[in-house]
Amino acid sequence: MDVNILYNVEHEMPLGIPIALYFYLTGLSAGSFIISTLAYGFGMIKFKPLGKIGVVMATSLLGIAPMILLIDLEQPMRFWHLILYLRITSPITWGTFLLTLYPLNCVVYGYFMFKGDLKRTKFFGLIGIPLALLVHGYTGFILALGKARVLWNTAIMPPIFLVSAMVSGLALMILVVIIKDFIIRRKKEPDRMLIYALGNFLVASIVLDLLLIGIDILVLLTSHTEAYKAAIMLLNGPFSLPFLGIEVFLGAIIPLFLLLLPFTKHWIPGLAVASVLVMIGIFAMRCIMVIGGLSIPLS
């Protein structure tokens, strides 16, 4: 039947790019922290050069990320209400504690690492892994528990966020190692094996990320009307270019080819391009999730 809306009110979209950027930075931070603990927490000697740079990246990125959240508040001067009047059912309250504990743990872990106290480094590294997972997992819960938005309210949202954090963290580490070895210290022999090992991890996590996204879309497509419309919005609607073009094709398929094809997989500029594309793709994913989720009409 012909239906026309003559008058309706839609309120302004509450969240936007700053929140997407915040999710992106916490993801990068959690990813680089976990890579940093590979050597010092789990004893994978191959990754030892990444320990220090990983913890520095993790701490500094997590210094910036909560600032973006504060700027995005309508009343930034009242941020202390978060600690005083907490409500335990809200994922933002979980985040208040995680965003306090996790950077502190990063600083302590980094301090012992730079001092060379390997036993304590391992201890704080192992404490830090669940914290890093929770810090990024809770951002997935922020979206998953926003039950009004059908694109967010799925059980697979926290795992997608964790895996995409790993993807972007690995890409960042590859870039950092390339910049460190090939641009800053040009004369030293570069650690190619380290980069190739990170590349293999990156392939595995991109594949896992694509799988989770595919599962999400498939279930949305076969679920109720609103979910179906959200899936169509991503596949053949206003968000199909950012989703299929940037997130899936540029951010996952092309890097996968660059990392797997025999004549590009040991080519350092190719790996650098793949990492940059992956990082762009993950940022696009955060923006699509936040803005796409909010652009589904409610009234």
The residues of the shown chain that bind other proteins, judged by CB under 8 A, are 1-12, 14-15, 72-75, 78-79, 81-82, 84-87, 89-93, 96, 142, 145-149, 224-226, 229, 233, 237-238, 294, 297-299
Give min distance, CB of 225 to other proteins, in A. Answer: 7
Give the nearer residue to other proteins in terms of CB position, either 98 or 177: 98
Record the tokens describing residue 61, joined without a space: 């990125």
Give the nearer residue to other proteins in terms of CB position, either 78 or 266: 78
* Closest to 31 measured CA to CA, from 200, 205, 169: 169
Give min distance, CB of 186 to other proteins, in A. Answer: 47
Q: How far is CA 277 from the centre of its chain?
A: 14
Give the nearer residue to other proteins in terms of CB position, either 17 or 145: 145
Angstrom distances, CA of residue 98 to CA of 66, 67, 287: 11, 15, 23
First to last CA, the chain: 19
CA–CA gap between residue 6 and residue 3 (Å, rounded): 9
CA–CA gap between residue 202 and residue 234 (Å, rounded): 25
Give min distance, CB of 223 to other proteins, in A. Answer: 11
Give min distance, CB of 224 to other proteins, in A. Answer: 8
Give min distance, CB of 221 to other proteins, in A. Answer: 15
Give the nearer residue to other proteins in terms of CB position, either 76 or 269: 76
Give the nearer residue to other proteins in terms of CB position, either 91 or 159: 91
Give the nearer residue to other proteins in terms of CB position, either 60 or 96: 96
Give the nearer residue to other proteins in terms of CB position, either 200 or 236: 236
In Å, the largest CA–CA distance within the chain is 73
Give min distance, CB of 209 to other proteins, in A. Answer: 24
Q: Do the beta carbons of residue 179 and residue 188 sit within 8 Å?
A: no
Give min distance, CB of 215 to other proteins, in A. Answer: 22
CA–CA gap between residue 294 and residue 225 (Å, rounded): 17
* Helix residue ranges, H only, 80-188: 81-84, 91-115, 118-144, 157-178
Angstrom distances, CA of residue 176 to CA of 14, 62, 185, 285: 35, 17, 12, 22
Q: Do the beta carbons of residue 6 and residue 148 sit within 8 Å?
A: no
Record the tokens describing residue 81, joined without a space: 């209400």
